[in-house]
Amino acid sequence: MEGKIKIEVNGKNWTANIVNNSSGIGFMNLLKKGPLKISMSDYGNFEKVGDLPEIIPTNDKNYKTKPGDIILYLGKHITIYYNTNTWNFTKLGEIENVTQAELKQVLGKGDCEVTFSI
């Protein structure tokens, strides 16, 4: 099951492809209940991170992120990467047609509200 989702942040809309594994399925099942509005904070000058309302399955492996990656961390934290990092976590998906500069501009500095929906 591969799926596409919508992401809205600071008036900008993106589309993302979700991976076909138990984590992607778990995330899509959350979104089938309705849009998720998540408060996200900057972490490490490479990602925005926020809490999911419930834990979903992980498929952790060592992975080097790239700008636009949507990552699940510890089964309950969702992140949008605007830079690179290497760690053991689960890739949930990837935002289509977005640059690092655009991600940084739209996500802004500090906290932001991000809405994930189908």
**Average pLDDT of span 66-86:** 95
What 3-state class would DSSP assign to 42?
Answer: strand
Taking alpha carbons only, the member of 94, 93, 59 closest to residue 73 is 59
**What pLDDT is stored for residue 9 in this prediction?**
96
- Asked if 47 and 35 count as a contact pair (C-beta separation under 8 A), the reply is no
The pLDDT > 90 percentage for the chain reads 92
Whole-model pTM: value is 0.94
**Domain residue limits, the chain:** 3-117
**What pLDDT is stored for residue 45 in this prediction?**
87
Answer whether residue 51 shows pLDDT above 90. Answer: yes
Q: Assign domain 3-117 to its CATH architecture.
A: Beta Barrel (2.40)
Answer whether residue 2 shows pLDDT above 60. Answer: no
